[in-house]
Amino acid sequence: MRTTTAPGAATSRYLAAMRKRRPLDIDWAAAPTRHKRYPSAERVPLSWNHLVGELLRNLLGLTRIVWSHHLGDGGRPLGRPPMLLAGRPAPSGGGLYPVEAYVAAGEPHLPAALYHYDPVHHVVERVRGGDHVPALTGLLGGGDRADVVVVLSAVFWRSMFKYGDFGYRLVCQETGVLIAQALAVAGRLGLAGRAQLRFADGEVDRLLGLDGAREATLAALTLSLPSTKDSRAEPPSLDELVSRPAADESTPLPRPMPGGLAAALHRACTLAAPHASDPPVPPVPPVPPARAVRPAPEPAPMPRQPGGERRASPLAGYRPVPLGGGALGAVLRAACAGYPSDLPGTAKGPAATALCLLSLRVDGLPCAAYWYDPAGHTLHEPPATIPIDAVTTGPLLPNTQVALRGAAAVLIPVGDPVAGAPAFGDRWYRMQQMEAGLIVQRAALAATALGLAARIHSDGANETTDEVLGLAASPLRSLSFLVMGTPPTGGPLVTRPIHGLISQEVMPPDRPA
C-alpha cells in the first residue's frame, strides 16, 4: 500500500528542528570555493556596457573594494591587520555566496547558448551550444516570450558546511534577495523581468546539467526587451539540447547536501506540483486587530540611484540619529510594492508575507512595534505585546546587539510557514522565504538611496521577537530582520566602488528614443 506525506509535513519537521538548533562546530577545512568554474568552456568576455554583462555584474559580480578590520563582540577593532576584500552587490549569509547564475540568451545579446557566469573574471562560460531560451521558458511554465533567461541555482554545501540545515533557509532567502536585485537592475536597463518560482525543478536541473544534490535550481527570471522582434528559427527540443556535449565544471566537486531535515524539505519542495492552469492565490497574513492605528509617514521622494543598485551594510552599528518619517514611509512603500512573478497577486504586493516594524528612533512615531498595512499606508499597533526593549533579550549575536544600540528601525517580514501547504505543498516554505528576502532587499536598496544603511541579521527572527510582535499565540512567525539607521561617518569598514563599473550608462539595443 502506497503512503503519502501530508503537505507541509516536511516543513513542520524542519521548523521544529530549527527552533531547537544549537551552535555548530565549523570545519573550515571543508569550506568549498565561493564560485564555480567550467575550465574547458569557451569564455566570452562581457564589456562594461554590455546589456547582459551589466545585469550579471550588478547581480553577482565583484563591484566593491572593502577595507575591513577584524572586530570584537563589541564592534571595536581588535588591532589585527586589516583585510582587503572584493565585495558583491547583494548580501549573502556569512559572505559565502552559494547562489550561481546560468544564462540562456541569443543574438543580439550573445551567441545562442547556455552560459554560466564567472563573477571573478566577469565572463560567461559556454556550457552548451544552441538556443536554450524556448526550452527553458517552456519548463518554467509560461508561454511568454523572453530574450534572456537567468536561472539561479544553489550550491548547498557552500552555506551548509557552516550553518548546517539552517543554511537551507539562508539560501532560499538569498535567492529572493537576488530576485529583487535582478528586477531592480532589469528595470533600469529597460528589460521587462518576471520571477519564476513554480516549475519542474528536475527538468530544469537536467537541462543545466545539475545533479540536484550538490547543486539545484531554485528560481529563474525571464527578461525581455519590449522592442525586440522574435525572429528565431525552429528551436531545438529539450532532449536534443541535453544530448549535446556540455562543458565540465571544475573539480573537486562540492559535497552533496548532507542528509537531514533540510534535504528532506528540499526533496518535498521539488516534488510539489509546480503548475496549475488556475493557480490558487497565496494566503497573505491579515493585519490583526490593533489597539491603535495611525497613518504611516508620507513617503519622501525617492532619488534615482546613479548607475547601479547599491547597498550600505555597516559592520559596527549605526549612529544613534533619529530617522525622518518621510524616509521610513518611502522604505515601507518600496518594500511592499508589487513585483512580476508566476504567483497570483504579486502585481499588487507581497503574496505570502506581511511586514512588521520596530520603531526605535523615528521622528513623530512612538517607540513601539507595528504592523504595516500597505493598502491604507497605515501602522497598526498590536493589542498585546511585551515591551519593545525585550527584543534585545532574545538569542542575538553580538553584532546584532551592537547594531540595535544605534539603529533607527527594524523591518520584519512575517508569515505562516505552513498556511500555503494545502495549495502549494512544501514548496510554500521555499517561496515564502524567497519573498521575505525580496522584501528586505527592496527595503535595503531604498534605504541606501536615501542615504541610510541597512543590514540583515537573521538571528533577530526568533521567538522573543515574535512575542514583541504579538505573534506567539498565532501560527505566524518572523522570517527575517532588517536593521536600518544612519551609517557611521568613520570606523573600521571602508567601501569603495570599483572604478569604471557603475559610471557608464547602458542602453539596450534598438531601444526607442
Predicted confidence (pLDDT) per residue in 195-229, tens digit: 999 999 999 999 999 999 999 999 999 999 866 55
Beta strands in 453-509 (DSSP E): 453-456, 477-478, 482-485, 493-497
Fold held by 292-496: NADH Oxidase (3.40.109)
Note whether 87 and 310 are within 8 A (CB).
no
Least confident of 96-100, 342-346, 353-357: 342-346
**Nearest to 279, CA basis, from 431, 476, 154:** 431
d(CA 71, CA 76): 5
Q: What is the pTM of this model?
A: 0.92
CA distances (Å), origin 124, targets 114, 180, 220: 9, 22, 17
Q: In this model, does residue 509 exceed pLDDT 50?
A: no
The secondary element (H helix, E strand) that includes residue 270 is: helix 261-271
- Strand bridging mode 148-155 / 43-45: unpaired
Q: In this model, does residue 104 exceed pLDDT 80?
A: yes
Say if residue 326 is exposed, middle or buried (CB neighbours under 10 Å; 0-12, 13-18, 19+). middle
pLDDT for the residue 496: 63
Q: 77 is written with which cell numbers?
A: 577593532
Q: Can you tell me the mean pLDDT for 263-280? A: 78
CATH homologous superfamily for the domain 33-271: NADH Oxidase (3.40.109.10)
The secondary element (H helix, E strand) that includes residue 468 is: helix 463-468
Residues 6+ apart with CB under 8 A from 332: 296, 299, 355, 357, 372, 374, 377, 411, 443
CA terminus-to-terminus distance, the chain: 65
d(CA 497, CA 306): 12
Residues 6+ apart with CB under 8 A from 376: none
Q: Is 275 helix (H, G, I), strand (E, B) or coil?
A: coil
In DSSP terms, 379 is beta-bridged to 294, 372
d(CA 160, CA 156): 6
Which residue bears the cell 520584519?
A: 412
Q: Which amino acid is at 374?
A: P
Asked whether the bond before 39 is cis by omega within 30 degrees of 0, the reply is no
Best-predicted range by mean pLDDT among 67-71, 141-145, 382-386?
Answer: 382-386
Predicted confidence (pLDDT) per residue in 427-473, tens digit: 999 999 999 999 999 999 999 999 999 999 999 999 999 999 999 88
Q: Which amino acid is at 202?
A: G
CA distances (Å), origin 364, targets 136, 236, 298, 311, 509: 50, 61, 12, 26, 47
Q: 457 is written with which cell numbers?
A: 541579521
CA distances (Å), origin 172, targets 70, 182, 324, 434, 436: 28, 15, 32, 5, 9
Q: What is the 3-state secondary structure (H, E, C) of 118-146?
A: ECCCCEEEEEEECCCHHHHHHHCCCCCCC
Note whether 462 and 479 are within 8 A (CB).
no
Q: Can you tell me the mean pLDDT for 128-147? A: 86
CA distances (Å), origin 351, targets 75, 337, 433, 436: 37, 11, 12, 10
pLDDT for the residue 495: 63
d(CA 321, CA 312): 16
Listed by start position, the domains of the chain span 33-271, 292-496
Note whether 257 and 264 are within 8 A (CB).
no
**Nearest to 408, CA basis, from 468, 470, 450:** 450
Q: 421 is written with which cell numbers?
A: 501547504
Note whether 286 and 419 are within 8 A (CB).
no
Predicted confidence (pLDDT) per residue in 147-205, tens digit: 999 999 999 999 999 999 999 999 999 999 999 999 999 999 999 999 999 999 999 99
Q: 89 is written with which cell numbers?
A: 552587490
Confidence of residue 310 (pLDDT cuts 50, 70, 90): confident
For all residues of the chain together, what is the average pLDDT? 87
Note whether 348 and 357 are within 8 A (CB).
no
Q: Can you tell me the mean pLDDT for 87-91? A: 86
Q: Is 42 helix (H, G, I), strand (E, B) or coil?
A: coil
How many CA atoms lie within 13 Å of 198's alpha carbon, on the beta-carbon side?
A: 25
Best-predicted range by mean pLDDT among 284-293, 304-313, 321-330, 492-501?
Answer: 321-330
d(CA 241, CA 375): 46
Q: What is the 3-state secondary structure (H, E, C) of 351-398?
A: CCCEEEEEECCECCECCEEEEEECCCCEEEECCCCCCHHHHHHCCCCH
Q: Which amino acid is at 411?
A: L
Note whether 14 and 417 are within 8 A (CB).
no
- In this predicted model, which residue has the larger pLDDT, 475 or 4? 475
Express as a percent the part of the chain with pLDDT over 90: 61
Which residue bears the cell 516534488?
A: 271
Note whether 338 and 348 are within 8 A (CB).
yes
Domains 33-271 and 292-496 share a fold: yes
